[in-house]
Amino acid sequence: MNTEAGTAIRLNPFKGLAGPEGTPVPWSPYGRILEQRPVFTLDPLFHAGCYYVQDSSAMFVGHIFRRALASVGRPGIRVLDLCAAPGGKTTDLAASLREAFGDEFLLVSNEVMKDRSRILCDNVAIWGDPNVMVTSADPAAFGRFPGYFDIIVADVPCSGEGMFRKDPKAVEQWSEQTVQLCAARQKRILADVWPALRQGGVLVYSTCTYEDCENDANLEWAATGLGGDIVAPKDEFSDWGVEITRHGNLLRAGVVPGEGQWAGMLVKTSPEGSCPRSDLSQSIKPLRYGIPTGTLKGGKLIPDPDYALSLGYRGEYPTIELDRRQALAYLHHDALRFPEAPRGFNLVAYRGHPLGFVNNLGTRVNTLHPLARRILMNIDQVE
């Protein structure tokens, strides 16, 4: 527990697998464990959505999800990532779904906390998958759509013991009372969302704690009290320190390369009730869904900044290729000039990866990069 926390990334397979080199994460096909932590803010590929910075243990939930996908996956599959911020698991699920089914899936990424949902929106936009809907709703709101989802991933709030090595506040906030409160809240979350899972669908349940009452015992409670069959865990990565518990896999910080994580799953056996009467997005207003190409202003189409980052970008704008210094200057919102480039809207890219749009006026350019995503760090140190 006193060893230093590691650093890992997960590459975006739909943006060229570009990013820092590292040791493969055994349970994640695109995960990489880095020898040291670089300054990600100063890497334009990070801002282009070419990779996501995610703890290697957290990637284990994606591995369990892919097991679920192999058993119940089908074209048109609908998945709910219930407690999704900041977006690591959502981007992992989205990549797995797109690899399996192309455009034929819906992933609803939900975060009930409004401030965290804004971070989730940004990370989903940068990752660029248009089939991800971001919502900010209480779990009970999804319960009004019986049998709507084939898979629900619930990485629930917990007592956070797996974060002790990484986050001193997690140590300060821990108590036996907190553990009991978390276990009770987790039961409420599962009970509230349970109707939304179809009969035969899969619940992937995970925490970042070691407490049995929040992990195995809660999965047992869901199976008995809500109606489900627990799927036995596999002993696949014991050489990497992954343990088998009664009903799941446990990763302990300092034993595995990453932090603490527990994950298990069960198949719903209870009836799902009546079918939903309306479309989900009509009843639970999404914060974002799909990627708009732009907005009309004064008869002119202004490209949407997120369209540049979307996997659905069709390449209709001229491209200005930037070097690293220019790319960081663009992300820093510095003044730039491209006198040789076509007038009007241009895509700017780094190593072929889109970063955003500019309106080239000849003597100067107006950036369309969102102000909220502007780099605040000093970039003068970059050559």
213 is catalytic: no
Contact 183, 173 (CB under 8 A): no
Alpha helices, H only, 102-167: 114-127, 139-142
Query: Which residues neighbour 222 within 8 Å (Cβ) at sequence distance 6 or greater?
Result: 187, 190, 194, 203, 205, 228, 266
Spatial distance between the Cα atoms of 103 and 105, rounded to a whole number of angstroms: 6
In eight-state DSSP terms, residue 168 is: H
10 Å Cβ neighbour count for 71?
12
| String of DSSP letters for 183-213 | HHHHHHHHHHHGGGEEEEEEEEEEES---GG
From 83, 208, 213, 275, active-site residue: 208
For 276, list phi and psi in degrees, rounded to 5: -65, 145
| Cβ density class 360-378: b for 16+ within 10 Å, e for less | beeeebebbbeeeeebeee
Active-site positions read: 208
